[in-house]
């Protein structure tokens, strides 16, 4: 398959037969031919042409001859096997030692040869693949017969899912949610601004097709059998409004004054008072400008008009959401019926409620906190709320959530817009096809592993292909993500299987 001809500790160069079909990202195994039992795991990072010829310009001259013959007769390359080869550069990913992968600190001996990995070679990788499977380990473009994923206990260390539109972010999110349901050990709050998770895109399955009791759904749209999404007006703070809407300094001050005047009833009070009453009370004494009052009042009224805010101060879906997450369920919140600002407002309020609940357990109820599952809050188009490292609840979760077992999963097609302090908090990155150089660069520097040898592979990722990088595995893991359709099929078969075992009285 390939023999070492050159290189150093961080890069091994192989001579590979000219007719061997080899691809970027392929995994190879190398058995050291001097030190018995020493095995290396390699990953192809670059492929080039190699010629063995006495004269440096042999290839050029041969090409000239081929051109002159213009296809009329066949140009014969004597000793083709000898003359032609591929020069393949590999990244040594690790040294396989018993049941472990160790860092590589030496080179394989001269002329050691590489081969395709066999199942027993990558069995040792299984322990790094986590309990939340998202696909299969990928060698080049080929999916190997070993499941790959992440450890749910790393949810609180935050996740980023990055790809250009159409490369498979939402599909991956559905698989991640399905796997989390299957495990039952973690809570997941999915904020779904496009309303695409429950039913799935046209002609593709959605989360409902898993028929899982571990799924709870709330929707801002009127959907049969789905609970309506409503929060209490007392849950919306002036700071939520200030972090989502683009507010002027004057509006920010006005919000502060309302908060001092009405406390948590501010939204209701501003809504219930007429504009004239507000002017009467606030324009003169507190010197809020009438224009400012009118803008804030209009926004508050809009929030009520959306029907997302219940008139009953004690009615809110958040308590039920928290209870479900505590029991290891996946809660899907479809905000697709809302305008962007209201969608972000409701999403922020729910995320804050969940964050504060876990924080409160940590601070006040130690035993309950120990029992509480880690929870992951996922947000599409996350660049919208993560450009500023300080403002709003999502940056706060990225900064502080870890301690309280609350993770953020930021999904975005433009990671370069996310503040670098936030990016650096995302410990696990799913890097998928990204067409923009700047996006890839940004992720390269945010990653906890050195991705520079993988630059070529990352550039050429296809739909559904990903590299998972995190500090929790000895190297970045190439995966082929399940299509959600395939995931649903497997999941159902598995469910059928356990049901049959039940019938036979096995379990």
Q: Please state the closest distance from residue 486 (CB atom) to Mg ion, in A.
A: 18
Q: Binding of ligand ADP at residue 163 (CB under 6 A)? A: yes
d(C-alpha 148, C-alpha 138), whole Å: 9
Q: Counting contacts by CB under 6 A, is residue 165 touching ligand ADP?
A: yes
Residue of this chain nearest to ligand ADP (CB atom): 464
Using the rule CB under 6 A, give the single segment among 33-41, 147-155, 161-169, 360-368 that binds ligand ADP.
161-169
For ligand ADP, which residue of 7, 184, 195, 201 counts as binding (CB under 6 A)? 201
CA–CA gap between residue 462 and residue 111 (Å, rounded): 33
Cα–Cα distance, 455 to 436 (Å, whole number): 13
Dihedral angle sign, alpha carbons of residues 395, 445, 460, 155: negative
Closest Cα to residue 453, out of 10, 140, 29? Answer: 10
d(CA 358, CA 361): 5
Task: Find the radius of gyration of the CA atoms of the chain.
Answer: 28
**Binding segment toward ligand ADP, per CB under 6 A, in 159-167, 352-360, 449-457, 467-475:** 159-167
171 binds ligand ADP (CB under 6 A): yes
Site size with ligand ADP, rule: CB under 6 A? 14
Q: Does 483 engage in binding with ligand ADP (CB under 6 A)?
A: yes
Residues 94-133 that bind ligand ADP (CB under 6 A): none
- The reply to whether 219 sits near ligand ADP by the rule CB under 6 A is no
Give kind and range of the element (H or E) at residue 97.
strand 84-97
Could you tell me which residues come within 8 angstroms of residue 43 by beta carbon, excluding any fewer than 6 positions away?
A: 25, 26, 27, 28, 90, 91, 93, 454, 457, 475, 478
**Which stretch of DSSP H or E encloses residue 328?**
none
Q: How many CB atoms lie within 10 A of CB 278?
A: 20
Residue whose C-alpha is closest to residue 19's, from 50, 46, 43: 50
The 3-state DSSP class for residue 475 equals coil
For the bound state, the minimum distance from the C-beta of residue 298 to ligand ADP, rounded and expressed in Å, comes to 34
State which residue, 163 or 488, has the beta carbon closest to ligand ADP.
163
Q: Decide which of Mg ion, ligand ADP, none touches 166; Cβ closer than 5 to 8 Å per partner kind.
A: ligand ADP
Nearer to ligand ADP, 64 or 166 (CB): 166
Cα separation, 84 vs 80, in Å, equals 6
Q: Which lies closer to Mg ion via its Cβ, residue 170 or residue 180?
A: 170
User: Smallest distance, Å, CB 485 to ligand ADP?
Assistant: 8
Candidates 160-168, 273-281, 296-304, 439-447: pick the segment binding ligand ADP (CB under 6 A). 160-168
* Residue 94 contacts residue 40 (beta carbons within 8 Å): yes
DSSP string, 448-470: SS--GGGHHHHHTPPTTEEEEE-
Site for ligand ADP in 330-369 (CB under 6 A): none
If the CB atoms of residues 165 and 360 are measured against ligand ADP, the closer one turns out to be 165
Which residue, 50 or 201, has its beta carbon nearer to Mg ion? 201
Q: Which residues have C-beta within 8 Å of that of residue 273, sequence separation ≥ 6?
A: 281
Which of Mg ion, ligand ADP, none sits in contact with 205, Cβ below 5 to 8 A by type? none
Biggest CA pair distance of the chain: 98
Residues contributing to the site for Mg ion (CB under 5 A): 169-170
CB of 432 to ligand ADP, least distance (A): 7
163 binding partner (options ligand ADP, Mg ion, none; Cβ < 5 to 8 Å by kind): ligand ADP
Query: Is residue 160 near ligand ADP by the rule CB under 6 A?
Result: no
291 binds, among ligand ADP, Mg ion, none (CB under 5 to 8 A by kind): none
The contact pattern for ligand ADP, residues 53-92, with x = CB under 6 A and - = no contact, is ----------------------------------------
- Binding interface with ligand ADP (CB under 6 A): 163, 165-171, 201, 204, 463-464, 481, 483
């Amino acid at each position: 398959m390939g023999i070492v001809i050159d290189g150093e500790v961080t890069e091994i160069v192989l001579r590979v037969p000219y007719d061997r079909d080899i691809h970027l990202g392929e995994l190879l195994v190398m058995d050291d031919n001097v030190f018995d039992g020493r095995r290396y795991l390699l990953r192809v990072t670059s492929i080039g042409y190699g010629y063995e010829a006495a004269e440096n310009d042999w290839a050029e001259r041969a090409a000239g001859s081929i051109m002159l013959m213009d296809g009329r007769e066949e140009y014969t390359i004597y000793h083709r096997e000898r003359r032609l080869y591929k020069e393949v550069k590999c990244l040594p990913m690790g040294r396989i030692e018993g049941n472990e992968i160790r860092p590589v600190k030496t080179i394989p001996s001269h002329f050691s040869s590489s081969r395709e990995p066999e199942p027993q070679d990558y069995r040792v990788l299984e322990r790094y693949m986590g309990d939340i499977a998202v696909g299969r380990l990928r060698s080049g473009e080929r999916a190997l017969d070993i499941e790959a994923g992440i450890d749910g206990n790393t949810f609180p260390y935050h996740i980023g899912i990055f790809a250009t539109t159409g490369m498979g972010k939402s599909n991956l999110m559905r698989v991640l949610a399905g796997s989390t349901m299957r495990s039952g050990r973690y809570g997941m709050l999915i904020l779904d601004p496009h309303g695409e998770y429950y039913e799935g895109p046209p002609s593709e399955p959605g989360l409902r097709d898993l028929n899982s009791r571990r799924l709870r759904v709330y929707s801002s749209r009127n959907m049969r059998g789905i609970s309506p999404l409503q929060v209490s007006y007392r849950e919306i703070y002036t700071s939520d409004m200030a972090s989502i809407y683009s507010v002027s300094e004057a509006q920010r001050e006005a919000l502060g004054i309302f908060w001092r005047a009405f406390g948590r009833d501010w939204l209701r009070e501003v809504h219930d008072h007429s504009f004239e009453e507000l002017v009467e009370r606030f324009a003169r004494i507190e010197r809020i400008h009438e224009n400012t009052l009118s803008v804030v009042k209009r926004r508050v009224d809009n929030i009520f008009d959306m029907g997302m805010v219940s008139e009953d101060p004690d009615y809110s879906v958040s308590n039920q959401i928290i209870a479900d997450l505590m029991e290891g369920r996946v809660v899907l919140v479809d905000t697709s019926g809302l305008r962007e600002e209201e969608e972000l407002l409701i999403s922020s309020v729910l995320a804050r409620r969940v964050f504060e609940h876990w924080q409160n357990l940590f601070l006040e109820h130690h035993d309950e906190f120990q029992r509480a599952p880690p929870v992951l809050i996922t947000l599409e188009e996350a660049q919208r709320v993560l450009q500023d490292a300080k403002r709003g609840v999502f940056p706060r979760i990225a900064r502080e959530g870890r301690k309280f077992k609350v993770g953020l999963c930021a999904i975005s097609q433009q990671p370069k817009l996310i503040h670098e302090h936030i990016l650096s908090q995302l410990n696990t990155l799913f890097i998928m096809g990204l067409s923009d150089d700047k996006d890839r660069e940004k992720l390269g520097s945010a990653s906890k592993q050195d991705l520079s040898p993988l630059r070529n592979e990352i550039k050429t990722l296809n739909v559904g292909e990903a590299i998972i990088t995190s500090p929790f595995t000895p190297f970045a893991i190439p995966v082929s993500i399940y299509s959600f359709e395939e995931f649903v099929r497997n999941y159902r078969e598995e469910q059928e299987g356990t049901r049959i075992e039940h019938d036979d009285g096995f379990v």
